[in-house]
Chains A and B, each alone.
Chain A
Amino acid sequence: MPGTIHVNLICFSLVKYALGKDQLSVELPAGATTDELEAHVRELAGDALPTVPLRVAVNQRYAPAGAALSDGDEVVFIPPVQGG
């Protein structure tokens, strides 16, 4: 569909628990940012996702909040980590 992009959202920890999925494809308007995707994820998850801060990684690197997304991007929202 013109004017849209698809990103591959991979889920871990609290995000996986809240959404009940390891990953999902999300359609967004072209020009969408990680902030908009996070809002979408929080809406999907509802109360199941606690109000913890989420960092974001795009294509296997940490990205700044509000980073622009492109079609085919791999996105992971990172709840507070435990590091091992």
Chain B
Amino acid sequence: MVETRILDGPLPPLDDASAPGDGQDGAELLFHGRVRGTEADRPIVALDYEAYLPLAETELRAVAEDTAARFPVRSLVCLPRIGRIEVGEASMRVTIRSLHRTEGIQALAYFIEQLKDRVPIWKWGVTEQGERFPSRGGHGPPNP
């Protein structure tokens, strides 16, 4: 089962992600991307996420289906958020369930890498003074 939804609002309660299921899942990986207090070495109070929604929804779904085809996961749910998100808040949730942990961990790593290469969602830093500046992006260690 693959589910992807881009949310213009808060994530659903965590209970929804941690339901018992059908008793066949030996592993559940829960990943939250969170907003750091610095962007491009500048202190910020929030990130403002924007998306090219028609393409972002298509690519997000394609990346999730590709991941589910490559790794034997039993479910993959990805909920990225757009709009203003304060420092410390979660900007994205990924939940993967699998029979065993190994394929789940591999699937999560692959999925996040692909997401950050293909899905057109961008960050704007927001300073305490209200200035907005676009992130330069990049996918190396400084921008995990």
Contacts and interface: CB of A to CB of B under 8 A. Distances in A.
Interface string A51-84: 0100001001110000000000000101111111
B52 A82 contact: no
Interface string B85-118: 0000001100000000000000000001001111
B135 A84 contact: no
B24 interface: no
A13 B134 contact: yes
A76 B137 contact: no
Contacts, number: 75
Interface residues of A, number: 20
Interface residues of B, number: 31
22 contacts: A10-B52, A12-B120, A13-B137, A14-B134, A14-B136, A16-B134, A52-B136, A60-B55, A62-B59, A78-B120, A79-B122, A79-B134, A80-B136, A81-B120, A82-B116, A82-B121, A83-B115, A83-B117, A84-B81, A84-B92, A84-B119, A84-B121
